[in-house]
Each structure stands twice: as structure tokens, then as C-alpha cells.
């Protein structure tokens, strides 16, 4: 894996961010002026019990008017931060781990086309989620390959955000997909929601094999927001702080040019 030792302001000046728009501006200052955004949502059975400590004992997909569930927060915070960088505003959103796909496929949250803006992603998630039957296992591979196909079709750099409540069950398949993704202008941010534990996911992140660039990051949502003065900016910053370095690596490797030549 190539190493790009390029410091960026998202890592160095973390205390200066008070609003999500400031993080967006910082990413632009680091050279990322446009990107696409893709969401993947985990609908495995363990969501029913993974909120025992961190979400008042409720299912992590519980939808109410009183508070946002962790998936809604991930969509809202990262959507608001990244939407200004998305020229067409189209955001594909997919679910996985439900009783229909059973770890072998994904399903689009919207029946026809992509969501238009993160608010549409949130509204679609709110409408669809009560109808989804939770199941198993946790396999990121089908989602990652779908993201690669979207990058190839649109010829645009994308950030894939995977919000998941548990460990990867299909490690070999997921690892192969992440390695293949490093051949394309695609960053993968996986957000662990719920109680964890997340030791296996941290190990999974650290033991990934040689790739063209470090294209995968894992972080625990609750660890980041607990005790944070501003949970929105704290989470957005931790989720996106590696993106400028990844984008610089993509440029140095000529992956955008490779995409244009297809």
C-alpha cells in the first residue's frame, strides 16, 4: 500500500470547527471540490438488541418524533456536510442484511432512481424501515461492488458511508471487495452504531491487506459523540478526516484518469 504522508487541516486543527459548513469548507481547501455520496444501511437482526446501552434499550432502527436514531444521525450529519460537494445532488441509498437479501445482495431504499439530497435519503429511510424484516448476516461485499459500479458509471469520485451495528461475518468476501475498490476513486467510511463491542472491526480495519491506497476507515459513532461539546461536528470530523489524504492518493495514482479512459 502506498503511503502518502500529507497532513491536512481536518487532522491538525480539530478544535476550530463549530459548524458542519466549516468542515465542508476545510475539505474544499484541501482540494476536494466535488464528490458523490452513497449510503449503505445495515438491516440485520442484531439491531434489535444493540441499543441496550446506547439507545435506551430500543431497536437501533426505532423511529420516533422524540429523537433521531443512530442511522438517522449518520444520514443527517454526513449528508449535510457532503451535499454541498455533490453537483447533481443524487444520493444512491441501499439496505443490506434483511430477510430478502440475506447477505447475498442489497436493495435500493428508493423504488425508482436515487434520492435527491440527504433529506430525501432520510425521508425514504423513515418510510421504508418499518417495512423491512431484519435478518442476517453482515456482508459489505455486495454494497462495495455496487458502489464501484456507480463510480464507473458516473465517472466521479464517491464516498461510500456504511452504517452498521455489528461485525462483518463474511470477512473474506468483504476484504476482497475492499481491495478491488482501491483500484477506483472510492473512499469507504464504515460507522459502527450501537453497543459494540468493536474490537473485531478495529482489527479488521488494521489487518486489511496491501491496497493501492488506504481506502477504508472504521469508527464507532458512540465513542466519538460521547462527551463531545458538539456531537455533529465531532462525528463529521472523525468520519471524514482521512478523506483529503485518500483523495490526494487517488489523484497521485491517476485513478480519475483511469476512470475517464474506460
Domain ranges of the chain: 26-261
91-to-6, 99, 149, 222 alpha-carbon distances in Å? 29, 24, 14, 25
- The whole-angstrom separation of Cα 257 and Cα 251 is 8
According to DSSP, the β-strands at 90-91 and 115-116 are: antiparallel
- The whole-angstrom separation of Cα 217 and Cα 59 is 25
- The whole-angstrom separation of Cα 161 and Cα 217 is 10
Q: Which of 132, 32, 116 is nearest to 79 (CA)?
A: 116
Q: Is the pLDDT reported for residue 6 higher than 60?
A: no
Strands (DSSP E) along the chain, which ranges? 36-42, 90-91, 93-96, 107-108, 115-116, 158-164, 186-192, 216-220
Identify the pLDDT of residue 4.
45
pLDDT band of 24, cuts 50, 70, 90:
very high
* 23 phi and psi angles, rounded to 5 deg: -70, -40
From the CB of residue 31, how many other CB atoms can be counted at a distance below 10 Å?
12
In tens, the pLDDT along 32-65 reads 999 999 999 999 999 999 999 999 999 999 999 9
Q: Is the pLDDT reported for residue 94 higher than 90?
A: yes
- For the chain, percent of residues with pLDDT exceeding 90: 86
pLDDT, mean over the chain: 94
Once rounded to an integer, what is the mean pLDDT over residues 127-144? 97
Fold of 26-261: Rossmann fold (3.40.50)
Identify the pLDDT of residue 1.
44
In tens, the pLDDT along 184-216 reads 999 999 999 999 999 989 888 888 999 999 999
Q: Could you tell me the pTM of the whole model?
A: 0.95
Cell of 113: 432512481
pLDDT band of 5, cuts 50, 70, 90:
very low
Query: What burial letters (b/e) apply to 80-117, b meaning 16+ CB within 10 Å?
Result: bbbbbbbeeebbbbbbbbbeebebeebbbbbeeebbeb
Cell of 141: 461485499
In tens, the pLDDT along 227-248 reads 999 999 999 999 999 999 999 9
Amino acid at each position: 500500500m502506498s503511503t502518502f504522508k500529507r497532513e491536512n487541516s481536518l487532522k491538525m486543527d480539530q478544535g476550530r470547527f463549530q459548524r458542519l459548513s466549516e468542515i465542508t469548507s476545510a475539505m474544499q481547501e484541501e482540494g476536494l471540490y466535488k464528490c458523490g455520496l452513497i449510503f449503505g444501511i445495515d438491516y440485520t437482526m442484531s439491531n434489535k438488541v444493540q441499543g441496550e446501552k446506547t439507545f435506551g434499550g430500543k431497536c437501533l432502527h426505532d423511529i420516533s418524533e422524540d429523537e433521531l436514531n443512530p442511522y438517522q444521525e449518520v444520514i443527517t450529519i454526513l449528508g449535510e456536510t457532503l451535499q454541498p460537494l455533490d453537483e447533481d445532488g443524487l444520493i444512491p441509498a441501499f439496505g443490506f442484511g434483511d430477510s430478502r437479501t440475506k447477505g447475498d445482495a442489497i436493495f435500493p431504499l428508493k423504488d425508482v432512481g436515487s434520492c435527491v439530497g440527504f433529506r430525501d435519503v432520510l425521508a425514504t429511510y423513515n418510510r421504508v424501515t418499518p417495512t423491512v424484516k431484519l435478518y442476517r448476516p453482515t456482508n459489505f461485499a455486495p454494497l462495495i461492488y455496487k458502489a464501484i459500479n456507480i463510480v464507473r458509471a458516473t465517472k466521479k469520485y464517491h464516498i461510500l458511508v456504511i452504517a452498521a451495528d455489528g461485525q462483518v461475518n463474511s470477512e473474506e468476501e468483504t476484504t476482497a471487495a475492499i481491495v478491488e475498490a482501491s483500484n477506483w476513486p472510492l473512499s469507504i467510511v464504515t460507522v459502527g452504531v450501537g453497543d459494540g463491542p468493536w474490537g473485531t472491526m478495529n482489527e479488521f480495519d488494521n489487518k486489511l491487506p496491501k491496497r493501492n491506497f488506504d481506502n477504508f476507515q472504521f469508527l464507532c459513532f458512540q465513542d466519538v459523540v460521547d462527551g463531545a461539546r458538539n456531537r455533529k461536528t465531532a462525528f463529521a470530523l472523525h468520519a471524514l478526516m482521512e478523506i483529503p489524504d485518500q483523495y490526494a492518493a487517488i489523484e497521485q495514482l491517476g485513478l480519475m484518469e483511469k476512470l475517464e479512459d474506460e
